[in-house]
Amino acid sequence: MSALYGVDETHDPALRSWVESANDPACEFPIQNLPFGRFREAADLDWRIGVAIGDQVLELRRIGLINHAEMNRLMRLKPETRLELRRALSAGLRAGSGQQARWRDALLPMARVQLGLPCQIGDYTDFYVGIHHATTVGKLFRPDQPLLPNYKWVPIGYHGRASTIGVSGQDFVRPMGQVMAAGAEAPQLMPSQRLDFELELGIFIGRPNAQGQAIPIEQAEEHVFGLALFNDWSARDLQAWEYQPLGPFLSKNFASTVSPWMVTMEALAPFRRAFERPAGDPPPLPYLDSAAQRAQGAIDVDLEVRLQTAAMRAAGQPAVCISRSNYADAAYWTVAQLVSHHSVNGCSLSNGDLLGTGTLSGPRPDQAGSLLELSAGGRTPITLPNGEQRRFLEDGDSVELHGRCERAGYRAIGFGACRATVLPAASTVANETD
């Protein structure tokens, strides 16, 4: 782990901003956070780089801290330069700053702008770091051997599809695919009836590595720009039919949703904690191990899933929490371990690549990060406060993910919402080609 990502004056809980909304204790984007994202106004075609502060967006190019509007270019900055940028932003946004008069003109209300994908996403890899999720799901299909022999030795992952990753607020249609019903002699093409969410975090790669050059674990976090909330929607009935022998395909690539703000590794420094494996588990192989990772490789992020049905929306009822968990408690592998393992075979990670953590379920049943777990494979529906029940998602259901970092002696920071609504499946399969 890089020593660059330590606690410094930018994390001082006493800091206040001249952007008054950032000083509200409930605010997710205080001056101690400063996450990066892309935005545009209604008449714009091009995206601009912004930093969230309170309920406002600060345009970086307009205040002169950068001379371009390319987020991926900014993400390639060396960690030392990124730290200088963070410190400059912190100083300029503090109460009493001499920059207040000039920078105020570069602020826009977040409610008035369109937020886009945080960056141009290149490749997308989804991992399977949630050991409680892996164990619970494994028990549904392999009661005698929930975890396969390789799980505690190698970070499991598969390559997904970046073209269908949408930003929070971008809805998606229920996927079609082949489903093999119990007792049937042949599958049929139909809309998924077992549509699910997956509570994840997304890891954004900032600095690439050359092909053939593995990233050492000690340097892995220097290649990571930040984290965001991530929902890897899943069609469980399609998945059950297609996943052997090569794994997920149409059951996963129809839609994923990411929150619009990247919370930087610098901002997360106060919320690190020791990364410890359960007693008796095998130690990681040397390329996945370091003293720094053992000391503070885990990141404390409280996570929450909220669900709002179409009936609730029509009645003016807000989304309700159906699950809570914590990233550090759920993950069997750290951010650095995922990066190092991904590159150990010579794979080149590119600027803007996205790594999903996999479903982050806690050890208790009410901490499950998917409906597959919450409903015990669909056998036991969950009951919502209005009396509705859910085994899997229905048309019109909206799922929101939320994340928050809290620790005594520091200012709490958040990730913003990651939200999307399930739309009805297309009535026909298009056959047109370009």
239 is in an annotated binding site: yes
135 in a known ligand binding site = no
Give SS3 for 97.
coil
Q: Is 243 annotated as a binding residue?
A: yes
| 256 annotated binding-site participant | yes
- 343 annotated binding-site participant: no
Quick one: tokens of 223?
């290649």
- What token pair was written down for 126? 């989804």
Q: How far apart are CA 170 and CA 176, in angstroms?
A: 19
Nearest alpha carbon to residue 123 among 329, 352, 361:
352
CB-based burial, 156-169: b 16+ in 10 Å, e otherwise: bbbebebebbbbbe
C-alpha atoms less than 13 angstroms from C-alpha of 322 in its C-beta half-sphere: 33
Q: Would the annotation count 323 as a binding residue?
A: no
Residue 308 labeled ligand binder = no
Instruction: From residue 53, give the alpha-carbon distance in Å to each of 23, 177, 389.
Output: 10, 42, 38
Contacts of 227 (CB under 8 A, 6+ apart): 201, 202, 203, 204, 262, 263, 265, 268, 299, 301, 335, 415
Q: Take residue 75 and report the two structure tokens written for it.
A: 């993400």
Q: Is 78 annotated as a binding residue?
A: no
Cβ neighbours of residue 178 closer than 8 Å, sequence gap 6 or more: 187, 188, 189, 238, 241, 242, 250
DSSP state of 381: -
Residue 214: DSSP 8-state: P
Query: Could you identify the residue written with the tokens 């999720």?
Result: 133
Residues contacting residue 214 through CB under 8 Å, at least 6 positions apart? 287, 340, 343, 344, 345, 346
Q: Catalytic site residues?
A: 133
Known binding residue 126? Answer is: yes
**Calpha distance 87→264 (Å, rounded):** 13
The residue type found at 324 is R
DSSP string, 3-58: TTS---GGG-TT--BSSGGGGSTT-SS-TTT--EEEEE-TT-SS-EEEEEETTEEE
Annotated binding site for Ca(2+): 126, 198, 200, 232
Annotated binding site: 126, 128, 142, 198, 200, 232, 239, 243, 252, 256, 359
Annotated binding site for substrate: 128, 142, 239, 243, 359
Annotated binding site for Mg(2+): 232, 252, 256
